Amino acid sequence: MPLSEITQAIAKAESDAGRAPGSVKLIAVSKVQPDARVRAVLEEGHRVFGENRVQEAAGKWPGFREAFDGIELHLIGPLQSNKARQAFELFDAIHTLDRPKLAKRFADLAQERGHCPDLMIQVNTGEEDQKAGVLPADADDFIEMARGLDLPVRGLMCIPPIDEEASLHFALLAKIAARNGLEGLSMGMSADFETAISFGATHIRVGSAIFGERVAG
């Protein structure tokens, strides 16, 4: 699907939900995509991208940043604490803060470096054993802890279970965010971003609909 069709669908979903035009940020998920595909999207004018792995991003994005102005890079995959310093250098936003050890590491790096990427806390709304994220019952305490470390928590992120109705998880995430005074909601992917927008998503993560199927390697 051309990028222009995605942006038109986002605009329609914003309008249908009574949202302001431009209130949803499209993150083009470029993980495991060949450089040629990423370059083509950059040449269309898009500047906001998401990556899953620090190592892959480190090999891809410094060159693109030299060639294109205004790139905004989001980490949307799990982060090991020992990669936190590199993530600070590469990313403008990190959507996967999910445990106290990582929060404390971020706080130490922020003190040392004098800045911190925008942060989203990942919530495991489906309480899936194999998935990262804070459990919904623990989210309020975790948000309070992160704020106590002076971390720039902008919102919450979730990845609904593939076999459940996504809207239930979007509604849960929005409820947790609202009661904690958080505006950012990173939710919705290629198959369900319009639904996510209707539930208040501020960031949607779209990969295959923009780039085509991923290329392994």
Sign of the C-alpha dihedral computed for residues 172, 116, 83 and 53 taken in this order: positive
CA 166 to chain centre: 17
Question: pLDDT value at position 213?
Answer: 77
User: How big is the CA angle at 8 (ends 7 and 12), to the nearest 5 degrees?
Assistant: 115
Beta bridge partners of 47: none
Q: Are 21 and 15 in contact (CB under 8 A)?
A: yes
Question: pLDDT value at position 174?
Answer: 98
Q: pTM for this one? A: 0.96
Question: pLDDT value at position 215?
Answer: 60
* Per-residue pLDDT tens digits of the chain, which is 217 residues long: 789 999 999 999 999 999 999 999 999 999 999 999 999 999 999 999 999 999 999 999 999 999 999 999 999 999 999 999 999 999 999 999 999 999 999 999 999 999 999 999 999 999 999 999 999 999 999 999 999 999 999 999 999 999 999 999 999 999 999 999 999 999 999 999 999 999 999 999 999 999 987 665 4
C-beta neighbour count of 1 within 10 angstroms: 13
Question: pLDDT value at position 212?
Answer: 83
Q: How many CA atoms lie within 13 A of 135 on its CB side?
A: 6
